[in-house]
């Protein structure tokens, strides 16, 4: 059986957001064990202020929702995720979608 290197991929995360609104996407954590022991997610707007967001862990998937308001500045957002499982494996990833309002 082939062992997967730990990695994080996204489903439904666009490269650019042009309109204010609430957006949903998922992080999928591959290569981790079946039990995610710790999870740290940080979502920052282009001014590095926290975006209004919520997260729900479901197995190895993290369901995410975030809000882009009319007052959100244009530029590159930073979405950071760190996770580890019950065996000590850990993964980290940074995604950087654009906001152009």
The kind and range of the H/E element at 91 are: strand 90-95
Q: Given this model, what pLDDT does residue 90 score?
A: 86
Query: Residues of the chain with pLDDT > 90: what percent?
Result: 50
Per-domain residue ranges of the chain: 7-99
Give this prediction's pTM. 0.82
Tens of pLDDT, residue by residue over 29-71, are 887 777 788 889 999 999 999 999 999 988 888 899 999 999 9
Q: Given this model, what pLDDT does residue 5 score?
A: 53
Angle at 51 between CA 62 and CA 13, to 5 degrees: 45
- What is the chain's mean pLDDT, rounded? 87
Report the CATH number of the 7-99 domain: 2.60.40.2550
Residue 2 DSSP label: P
Q: How confident is the model at residue 17 (pLDDT cuts 50, 70, 90)?
A: very high
Position 1 pLDDT exceeds 80: no
């Amino acid at each position: 059986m082939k062992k997967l290197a730990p990695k994080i991929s996204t489903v439904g995360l666009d490269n650019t957001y042009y309109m204010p609104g609430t957006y949903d996407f998922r992080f999928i954590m591959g290569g981790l064990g079946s039990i995610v022991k710790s999870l740290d997610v940080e979502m920052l707007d282009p001014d590095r202020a926290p975006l209004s967001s919520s997260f729900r862990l479901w197995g190895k998937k993290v369901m995410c929702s975030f809000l882009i308001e009319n007052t959100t500045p244009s530029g590159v957002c930073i979405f950071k995720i760190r996770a580890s499982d019950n065996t000590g494996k850990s993964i980290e990833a940074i995604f950087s979608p654009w906001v152009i309002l």
